[in-house]
Each structure stands twice: as structure tokens, then as C-alpha cells.
Homo-oligomer: A and B are copies of this chain.
Amino acid sequence: MSVAEVVAGPVVTSLSIAEAAEATGLTTHTLRYYERDGLLLDAVDRASSGHRRYSQDDVGWIRMVTRLRSTGMPIREVRQYAELVRAGDGNEAERLQLLVAHRDRVRQQLAEVATHLEAIEYKIGLYERSTCTLT
């Protein structure tokens, strides 16, 4: 933070890589990795020192990326989506298509996991009963 920021508060809140990591739950290593792999919308701004400064928009986008990632979207596909957004207006239908396809996959996978979970819970039920009768 600059002296001006300390005195008057930040004009626009921007974050160091460590703060961005804190804010997004990623590591600094992963943040740099995402950037060089083209998952972010633009190269992150730099301070005069060359250090990255993450804007609120950057953080918002990274949160979207983590949502896509933690629902199982491959890096490659997140990059495609980022490329569409980067290309600007006019490809909303494509973006929509990509997200809808992902949504459908996630829903299906969620249902499958739920089914498997039920079977596991049934098994747990068996063990609980047998453990009861044993003790």
C-alpha cells in the first residue's frame, strides 16, 4: 500500500498476490499458474515494482473460475470460456452453451454420486447394526 492509501484509504481496492490468494482460497503458485495458462481475462495489473495487483474484478472472475473448477470443469474448458469472455460481446450464445453443457454434466454427476452415497449409507447401516449386536 502507498503512503496516500495509508493516509486516505485506498482509492480503488487492489490486492497483492498474497491477499488475492487469501481472498480466493488459492495459493500464490496457483494464481500465477492460472494466469500463465490463460484462465484469467487479462494479464493482471502490475505495480511499479512489477508486483501483481489484483482488482476486485480480477477476484470476482477468479471466484467464478474456482466455481467452475470445483464443479469439475477441466482447465482447458475454463480457458475456452475465458477466451470467449475476452473476445467481448457477440458470443453470449456460445458461452451459454458451454455453461449449460457443464451444468448438465454436473447435475448428472451429482445424481450419480448421490446414488452411490445411498449405497454406502446402506452399508454403514449394516455395520452399525452388527456392531450394536456385538457390543
Is there contact, CB below 8 Å, between A117 and B110? yes
Is there contact, CB below 8 Å, between A120 and B70? no
Majority secondary structure of chain A interface residues (helix, strand, loop or mixed): helix
CB distance from A73 to the nearest CB of B (A): 9
CB distance from A121 to the nearest CB of B (A): 6
Is there contact, CB below 8 Å, between A120 and B102? yes
* Chain B contacts for A119, CB-based, 8 A: 67
Tally of chain A residues near chain B (CB < 8 A): 32
**A41 contacts B by Cβ under 8 Å:** no
**Copies held by the complex:** 2
Is there contact, CB below 8 Å, between A127 and B67? no
Q: Whole-angstrom distance between the alpha carbons of A43 and B64 in the complex?
A: 46
* Chain B contacts for A93, CB-based, 8 A: 131
Q: Which of B103, B112, B131 contacts A117 (CB 8 A)?
A: B103
Known: A67-B120, A96-B131. 7 other contacts (CB 8 A): A68-B120, A70-B112, A71-B113, A92-B127, A92-B134, A99-B120, A99-B123
Quick one: which of A62-79 are within 8 Å of B by CB?
Answer: 64, 67-68, 70-72
